Every structure is written in C-alpha cells, then in structure tokens.
Structure 1
Amino acid sequence: MTIVPLYDAPHHAEQVTEWLWREFGDSLPRDFFASIIQHSQTPGQLPLTFVLLDGDALLATVGLWRCDLISRQDLYPWLAALYVKESARGQGLAGQLQRHVMQQARAMGFSQLHLYSACRDFYERYGWHYIGDALDYPNTTVHLYRIALCCLPDLQAG
C-alpha cells in the first residue's frame, strides 16, 4: 500500500469527491467538495489531498488544508477529511494517513497540526490532544484537537 498526493493519481478525484460529499456533505452541494478536490492538487501548496492505494485500488483519503473550520480560522494548518473506505477499515489505515499528513506538515515547516471531529476517543490514541469545543457551520458543536509536530517520534513507524 502507498500514500500519494492526489495529483499523482488524478483519476481518483471523482471518487474522492463522492466520498467527501457523502461522508461530510450534510447540506452542502457536491460541487463544493469537487471544488475543494480540484484546488487541492498543486504540489507543495496547501491545500493538499492524499490518497492511500493498494495497487491502483483507492482505499482512503486525507487532506492537509489551510482551513477546515470557518469559525476557527486562527488555527492553521488542518488534517482534514480523513476517510477510509468501509471495507478497508480496521487495518490501521487511518493511523497511516495521519502519520503521513503529520510528516508532510512537518516537512513544510509547520510546528503543529489541528483537526476537528464530532467524535471523541478516536484521535487521542494517535497522540492528538483535545483542546476544547468549537462551532461548525451552521450550528454544530465539534471537538478540536492539536498535535505538536516537533516532539513526535519517527513518523514513518507504524
């Protein structure tokens, strides 16, 4: 299995768009997610989208984004839109994707990374620290997390 930037596997962009829209779309149009994916494929620039492949089979995706929560634009950058195909869950792929984004963010010179989630007790096992609640648009309470990239052990380990 390999993790590559979506710009190296652009034929998966439609499926990634579909996953994000179905998983995170709520009342947002599919075109909104298509725009995110379209604009997250420039090498070395945020936002970036990564895909986890088994051969050419798409198993998962994750983003390294400039902003993922409108109400907290003071936090930057974000691990965003982590999605693992249902049939591939339970294999540690979410952890691999997180480590990959952490490594990329650290290589780009960032000292910390943020994420938000509606669930608790998942990201803590990967070293994320709960820092409080926030408001997702239009009125949903979500949980904020931060991880310091400078203090992490070898991010390649898995």
Structure 2
Amino acid sequence: MDKADILPLYAAPQYAEQVTDWIWHAFGEGLPRAFFHSIVEHSQTPGALPLTFIAVQNEQLLGTVGLWRCDLITRQDLFPWLAALYVDDAARGKGLAGKLQQHVMTYAAQAGYRELHLWSACRDFYERYGWQYIGDALEYPNKTVHLYRYSSPASAGDATE
C-alpha cells in the first residue's frame, strides 16, 4: 500500500492507547495521561463529536487528528475545532499533516459545519492549508496562542434543494 488510510478511531480501537500516548506527550505539558485517555476514550462515537481520526498504513499508525466541540476554554463561542493533529516522526515531511487536515475539513463540511477553528503556538504552518489567522487568544492558564479559522466552500456541505 502506497498511501495511508484515514479512518475514525472507532473503526480501529486497538490504536487508542498509542493515540493517547502521542497526544499526551505532544500536548500534555503538566497534565496527567488520564486526561488525554478520557479525551480519546470519549471521541469514538460514530456520528457524534468529538471524533478522533487516524492515519494507518500497513497496520502501522502514522498520525491522528481530532474534530472536537471545544479545544480552547477561553473561546467556547467557536465551534467545532480541528485539534490534536499529530504525525509520527517517521511519517513527517510526506504531506500527511495536510491529508489529515483535509479529511477533517471534508468531514466537517459534509456534517454541515461551515467553519472550523484551531489554535496553535506556532505561525506560518496552517496558512499553507487554507487557514486564516484571526488573532491571538489565551490558553489556560496564561499562554498566548494563535487562532485560525477555515471556512468551507459554500457548496461543500450544502444539500441540493
């Protein structure tokens, strides 16, 4: 197989512990693993948010991304969120981060969400994928982060009348 398959974690729950470890190590500064275990455990209900997606090739987990109700407690007015994007070191530099984002963008548009949001501590990465920087925000308790919005093309999620 030449390309990774992207599927919901509920379709391959055997990867849940690895996903938990990845996002805990990548995003869990000062937080217990149990916090991330709970996020992953409760993001595996078909048709409901939050959802976790994974990229798998030849039964090897390569990356993960979430579609969450909220990823920034100070901005609960924004909904939904692309969150916890992570690509394994061995799979980086091959476009997988973009494919994972596109998968969530497409899923969200088909589910009727016209906008997605994300926050990041870095700049100049997400803009390459069509995200618009919309300002800074505060991550609990006192970390300044950059906010982004992605607006789906009008036709992507529209039903034909």
Q: TM-score, length-normalised on structure 1? A: 0.95
**Which residue number in structure 1 is paired with residue 38 of structure 2?**
35
The one of 47, 56, 59 aligned to 1:56:
59
Q: Deviations over 1:92-151 (max 9, x none)?
A: 000000000001101111000000000000000101000000000111000000010125
**Which residue number in structure 2 is paired with residue 77 of structure 1?**
80
Counterpart-to-counterpart distance in 1, 2:48 and 2:144? 30
Distance 1:11 1:111, change over 3 A: same
Q: Secondary structure at the match of 1:31?
A: helix
| Structure 2 unaligned spans of 5+ | 157-161
Mapping of 1:111-130 within 5 angstroms?
A: 111-130=114-133
Q: Confirm whether residue 150 of structure 1 aligns to residue 153 of structure 2.
A: yes
Q: TM-score, length-normalised on structure 2? A: 0.93
Specify the code of the residue in structure 2 equivalent to 1:141. T
Computed over aligned residues only, the root mean square deviation of the Cα atoms, in angstroms, reads 1.1
Q: Deviations over 1:65-118 (max 9, x none)?
A: 000000000000000000000111000000000000001101111000000000
Counterpart-to-counterpart distance in 1, 2:110 and 2:51? 13
The one of 65, 69, 79 aligned to 1:66:
69
Deviation of the 1:152 alpha carbon: 8.2
Counterpart-to-counterpart distance in 2, 1:151 and 1:99? 16
Counterpart-to-counterpart distance in 2, 1:128 and 1:151? 16
Counterpart-to-counterpart distance in 2, 1:152 and 1:118? 31
Q: Does the CA-based 8 Å contact 1:7-1:43 persist in structure 2?
A: yes
Counterpart-to-counterpart distance in 2, 1:6 and 1:55? 16
| Structure 1 unaligned spans of 5+ | 154-158
Counterpart-to-counterpart distance in 2, 1:46 and 1:133? 25
After TM superposition, what 4+ stretches of structure 1 lie above 2 angstroms from structure 2? 150-153
The one of 93, 102, 126 aligned to 1:99:
102
Q: Percent of counterpart pairs with the same letter?
A: 66
Specify the code of the residue in structure 1 equivalent to 2:66. G
Counterpart-to-counterpart distance in 1, 2:155 and 2:134? 18
